[in-house]
Amino acid sequence: MLHTALGFGKEFDHIRQIAVALGQRAVGLGDDCAMVPDGDGRLIVSTDVAVEGVHFERAWLTEHEIGFRAASAALSDIAGSGGAAQALLVVLVVPADVPERHVIALMEGVGAAAEGGQARVIGGDLSRGPVWMVAVTVLGRTPREVKRGGARPGDRLWVTGGLGGARAALVQLQSGHTPQQEHRVRFAAPTPRLAEGQWLGSRGATAMIDVSDGLLGDCRHLAAASQVGLAIDESTVPLDPGIEKIASAVGLTSARFAAEGGEDYELLVTLPSTFSSQDADRFQQDTGTALTWIGEVTRNAGQVLVDGIDLPTMGFDHFA
């Protein structure tokens, strides 16, 4: 068995084979962040890449938004590890005929996201290529290691904020319509939940992952990494406002539309059974973000049940 804890799909199949090829020369592959012991805490390193035609279309976003969105996605990985961001490095690839002002606007977007995450841009690389590509590496620190593997049977499953707004914007953009402003913001300018991740990490989070591949997809990632099962109550999934009509137009309930969508950049977290609704209220008071219970952790390793039904594997896969 080759690293089944990495999860399912062609992307993870590639990672499994890479792990075999590297053998003892690699460790910890498959998590969103690498963690290196550093004094009393951990140095966290994460890299995220956004490629034109795969992760974004230039017709949908300004250059500033492309940079902001790419940096936010990388910062969100740090949030999912319960860490604080410190610095960013950016690799930018653009076609040769791109005006300099567009390059500057993109990097200003990166800088705005970095500033919001209390980090600074400290370097990177610039090159020419056939399409736009932005790769962002984030350095951070955490006093306590929180990974996607660590959930235990009996823990409870929670998610921050609301879901579905980014998918609603994407559906509208793909169909040639203008998204509602609040949905467009969720898609073009997501907010990494850094303060929220640090709060949860300090309150005993057993496992955590940012919701980038969709709630159901990331539930499967967390379940596989932790070698546990998850039982979700779909009626409790928190929804971004205004997604009902768009969900209905594609033949889905609002809850299923939100649960299958991606790029919400909320946090999916397991917490001990002693973590109560009163604790969730305190979380919202302290961070300004809602925290909603959506299910339980079970002993059925790798199984994700939604209202008692084992749904097909879902979530974004770069190689699907």
Per-residue pLDDT tens digits for 195-218: 999 999 999 999 999 999 999 999
Q: Report yes or no: 250 and 163 within 8 Å, Cβ to Cβ.
A: no
Dihedral sign for Cα atoms in the order 147, 148, 152, 155: positive
Predicted local distance difference test score (pLDDT) of residue 23: 73
- For residue 3, is pLDDT > 70? no
pLDDT confidence of residue 319: 38
- Does position 281 have pLDDT exceeding 70, yes or no? yes
**What is the phi/psi pair of residue 201, to 5°?**
-60, -35
Report the residue count for the chain.
Answer: 320
Q: What is the pLDDT of residue 24?
A: 73
pLDDT given at position 218: 95
- Of 53, 54, 55, the closest CA to residue 70 belongs to 55
pLDDT of residue 31: 74
- Residue with tokens 């969709």, as numbered in its chain: 214
What is the C-alpha separation between 265 and 32, in angstroms, rounded?
13
Residue 15 has pLDDT above 90, yes or no: no
* Residue 153: per-residue pLDDT: 98
Helix (H, G, I), strand (E, B) or coil at 210: strand
Are the beta carbons of 103 and 125 closer than 8 angstroms? no
Sheet holding 304-306, edge to edge: 207-211, 266-271, 156-160, 291-298, 229-232, 304-306, 309-310
Q: Specify whether the CB–CB gap between 62 and 105 falls below 8 A.
A: yes
Segment 286-297 shows an average pLDDT of: 98
Specify whether the CB–CB gap between 87 and 139 falls below 8 A: yes
Q: Report pLDDT for 37.
A: 85
Q: What is the pTM of this model?
A: 0.91
Per-residue confidence band for 8, with pLDDT thresholds at 50, 70 and 90:
low
